[in-house]
Amino acid sequence: MELYFLGTGAGMPSRQRNVTSIALNLLSERGVYWLFDCGEGTQQQILRSHVKLGRTEKLFITHLHGDHIYGLPGLLTSRAYLGGETPLTLYGPKGLKSFVEHSLAISQAHLSYSLKIVEIENEGLLFEDAGFIVETSRLEHRIESIGYRIVEKDQPGKLQHEKLAAMGVASGPIYGQLKQGKSVVLEDGRILNGADFVGPPLKGRKVVILGDTKYCRGAVHLARGADILVHEATFAKDRQELAEAYAHATTTDAARTAKEAGAAVLIMTHISSRYQIDDEEQLLEEARSVHLQSYVAKDFWSMEIERA
């Protein structure tokens, strides 16, 4: 599981940062990518990355400001041109369905795959299958903005092959039964209990990706115990009044959220174009004065999400 940042700027693109889009690499877990937001130029950013558009399974939109959705019509159409045939599910606030359907209809675009659009009406559980849970919470911005909490379910522990081999147990169907926790009887009469040969469960990872927001309790609640929190930090702390006027967060707002939520790692994104590469150290120092494990994301920067 890996976070890959396709765009990390706020409002409008700059030479250093494109507008917002984040990929969650789940190739090892389920063979796909999930995307979060799709600002203008996202498909160009994808072409410069290892992300495969045709293997995108889900696309989550945090809110309907242009720097988070203007790349959608082009990306959806390009996915069809590139031979994408697997279904794609698009999640986001009310109004997303109208925006996408009108854009595609007016441009006479034809998709070669099934597109499902889910408009989020209520907070809480959004999606669940055998491997993952996705939950949502409303944030505080100028328009409706949503945060997403992605929870990987705990995985069974690893079968201790070396221990079995040392006991002279050859690999085969018996290994599968033991991994399921079953007891098996060997040909020589020995009884093996699966629980004795399976390691402890692998704890699932938790990633929280927020839309634009000022500091709010909804963000803290959603980020509880997260391994990684991705939070906007549009402004440095000396622009607190400006941040509040536009319902955005500063570096210290983001760090405060991470600290209060007990998030292990904070990654700041949605950086205003007023800040250049030389300013990043200042932004980082401000956040780390509140929450030590803080980072500033850059375009095409990634972070592997390790198990605790």
Which residues carry out catalysis? Answer: 67
Count Cβ neighbours within 10 Å for each residue of 156-191 and write b for 16 or more, e otherwise.
eeebeeeebeeeebeeeebbeebbeeeebeeeeeee
Task: Report how far apart the first and last C-alpha atoms of the chain are (Å, whole number).
Answer: 13
The verdict on whether residue 227 carries a ligand-binding annotation is no
The verdict on whether residue 270 carries a ligand-binding annotation is yes
Question: 87 exposed, middle or buried (CB, 10 Å; 0-12, 13-18, 19+)?
Answer: exposed
Q: What are phi and psi of 249, to 5 degrees?
A: -115, 150
**Strand runs labelled E in 186-234:** 191-193, 206-209, 228-232
Residue 304 pairs in a beta bridge with 2
Q: What sign has the CA pseudo-torsion 250, 255, 256, 258? A: positive
The verdict on whether residue 221 carries a ligand-binding annotation is no
The verdict on whether residue 141 carries a ligand-binding annotation is yes
The verdict on whether residue 50 carries a ligand-binding annotation is no
Q: Mark the binding-site residues, compressed into ranges.
A: 63, 65, 67-68, 141, 212, 270
Q: Mark the binding-site residues for Zn(2+), compressed into ranges.
A: 63, 65, 67-68, 141, 212, 270
